Copies of this chain bind each other. A is one copy, B any other.
Amino acid sequence: MRQGITPAEALRIVLEHAPPLGAETTSVSDARGRVLAEGVRSARRLPPSDNSAMDGFAVRSADLASASAERPVTLEVIGEIPAGGSSELTLRAGEAARILTGAPVPPGSDAVVMQEDTARDGDRVTIGISPQPRAHIRDAGEDVEIGDQVLEAGALVGPAEIGMLASLGRSVVSVHRRPRVAILSGGDELVEPDGDTSGGRIVASNSYSIAAQCLEVGAEPVYLGIARDTPEDIERHLRAGLRADVIVSSAGVSVGDRDYVRGVLEKLGCSLLFWGVKMKPGYPLTFGRFEAGDGPIAFGLPGNPVSAMVTFEQFVRPALRKMAGRRSLFRPTVRARLADRLHKQSDRLHFVRVDLEREGDEIVARSTGNQSSGVSRSMLLARGLLIFPAEIHELRKGDTATVQILDEDFLAPPTPAFS
């Protein structure tokens, strides 16, 4: 097991052990946010037949070759083409048919004349223009041909993909499985939110924020509850998570007397790959994987809420996205100017919780204040995490730095894109 590695090394190791999960079949309506595990070819043409792009009359362009405003041509209207259902109509010389937008062009017809260019009188229509062949006809297959590869494996399914799959008549589609994440809190001082908090007990809030972090990336959280600080109770809880794709435990991985989680993980067959990442908050992060079959990967997150959230952001989140088949793993970043000086003694990389504001063309980052990892309130104020590199000990007021955007609303403009 490696110890005291850099965040970049840690992330590389994590992602190496987080391959995309296998495929499952889901209904198209439930596929939103999933990633296609199959390419989709079309078994139909879209539109299915030549059809009218306008409300008007289907005609034979040859009949109107000499037509003009001065010398209009009158045709016999033999009926109307219904928008749905097949028509028995076939156009012969001298005939026209009323047609609405989207209706199939009848056999014999090769053009549509817009309603505005016609004058109807009973079963006759007079036309003063000479349409080109194919005028106002949308070709069958203009959008999609039979056999076209319409969607690629790896595509994220959004509204446009769902609309297309529906158009193709697909009711189910193959997608990568959602990662199932077993979440465990460990500590004798922990209670559920409705529990008794006298005597210094605190709520196992990490399990709830971690579950929400899982849902944000489309993973499925499974809550294993609170383990007491004994190897037996931790083992009992962890066993319940062995069928998950990922185990995330928080607390119990400090160097203290009660550090049982790592031992229990190893006992259950987990190879620990690293412990301790040179970052702040979040140093006591543990990562391992179960060797047997396709056992889960396991993250031991530090116990305090800020450290747990930050380490989830940096390592668990990209792993879950990769497992779900996503190509894009990381949060958007911006370059921001510092409103105040930042300094540190350590040669660890610091993730500084910052508020962000736009000032003209610039983005200004301001520390949320007390950066103690015990101050969970600071996470509420953090619109981003500023990267304070390991090798730098001072960032001066006015310097620029990279900031990971946690609050994606920050990227949205306050006013519409058009005016």
In-complex Cβ contact of A209 among B55, B151, B162, B171 (8 A): B162
Query: Across the interface, which residues of B come within 8 angstroms of A332, CB to CB?
Result: 408, 411-413
The answer to whether residues A208 and B162 also contact, given A46-B376, A144-B377 and a CB cut-off of 8 A, is yes
Find out whether the CB atom of A160 lies under 8 angstroms from the CB atom of B380. yes
Query: Across the interface, which residues of B come within 8 angstroms of A159, CB to CB?
Result: 209-210, 212-213, 216, 309
Find out whether the CB atom of A169 lies under 8 angstroms from the CB atom of B46. no
A288 within 8 A of B: no
State which residues 66-108 of A face B: CB under 8 Å. 82-87, 100-104
Find out whether the CB atom of B409 lies under 8 angstroms from the CB atom of A158. no
A198 within 8 A of B: yes
Pick the interface stretch among A127-135, A187-195, A231-239, A262-270.
A187-195
Find out whether the CB atom of A101 lies under 8 angstroms from the CB atom of B256. yes
Q: For A197, give the chain B residue with the smallest CB separation.
A: B48
Query: Across the interface, which residues of B come within 8 angstroms of A161, CB to CB?
Result: 380
The answer to whether residues A166 and B412 also contact, given A190-B84, A374-B143 and a CB cut-off of 8 A, is no
In-complex Cβ contact of A8 among B164, B256, B416 (8 A): B416
> What is the distance, in angstroms, from A353's C-beta to the closest C-beta of chain B?
10
Q: For A327, give the chain B residue with the smallest CB separation.
A: B409
Pick the interface stretch among A199-207, A241-249, A290-298, A336-344.
A199-207
The answer to whether residues A200 and B327 also contact, given A159-B212, A211-B29 and a CB cut-off of 8 A, is no
16 additional A-B residue pairs with CB within 8 Å, beyond A47-B200, A162-B211, A167-B305: A7-B418, A48-B200, A55-B255, A55-B256, A83-B200, A84-B187, A102-B303, A104-B200, A158-B406, A160-B309, A167-B202, A168-B203, A330-B417, A332-B408, A387-B417, A387-B418
Query: Across the interface, which residues of B come within 8 angstroms of A408, CB to CB?
Result: 332, 408
A258 within 8 A of B: yes
State which residues 30-87 of A face B: CB under 8 Å. 32, 44, 46-49, 51, 53, 55, 82-87
Find out whether the CB atom of A47 lies under 8 angstroms from the CB atom of B374. yes
Q: For A410, give the chain B residue with the smallest CB separation.
A: B328
Q: For A258, give the chain B residue with the smallest CB separation.
A: B100
Find out whether the CB atom of B411 lies under 8 angstroms from the CB atom of A189. no
The answer to whether residues A374 and B411 also contact, given A212-B158, A416-B11 and a CB cut-off of 8 A, is no
A124 within 8 A of B: no
Among A8, A51, A189: residue with most chain B CB under 10 A: A189
The total of chain A residues at the interface (CB under 8 A) is: 117
Find out whether the CB atom of B102 lies under 8 angstroms from the CB atom of A48. no
Contact indicator per residue, chain A 122-153, by CB within 8 Å of chain B (1) or not (0): 00000000000000001000111000001100
Q: For A150, give the chain B residue with the smallest CB separation.
A: B377
> What is the distance, in angstroms, from A15's C-beta to the closest C-beta of chain B?
9
Find out whether the CB atom of A200 lies under 8 angstroms from the CB atom of B49. yes
> What is the distance, in angstroms, from A226's C-beta to the closest C-beta of chain B?
10
Q: For A375, give the chain B residue with the smallest CB separation.
A: B143
Find out whether the CB atom of A199 lies under 8 angstroms from the CB atom of B160. no
Query: Across the interface, which residues of B come within 8 angstroms of A170, CB to CB?
Result: 193
Find out whether the CB atom of A206 lies under 8 angstroms from the CB atom of B375. no
Query: Across the interface, which residues of B come within 8 angstroms of A193, CB to CB?
Result: 28, 165-167, 169-171
Whole-angstrom CA separation of A389 from B69 in the bound complex: 35
The answer to whether residues A160 and B209 also contact, given A83-B229, A84-B189, A197-B48 and a CB cut-off of 8 A, is yes
A379 within 8 A of B: yes
A118 within 8 A of B: no
In-complex Cβ contact of A101 among B53, B254, B328, B382 (8 A): B254
The answer to whether residues A166 and B44 also contact, given A160-B379, A419-B8 and a CB cut-off of 8 A, is no
Find out whether the CB atom of B84 lies under 8 angstroms from the CB atom of A188. yes
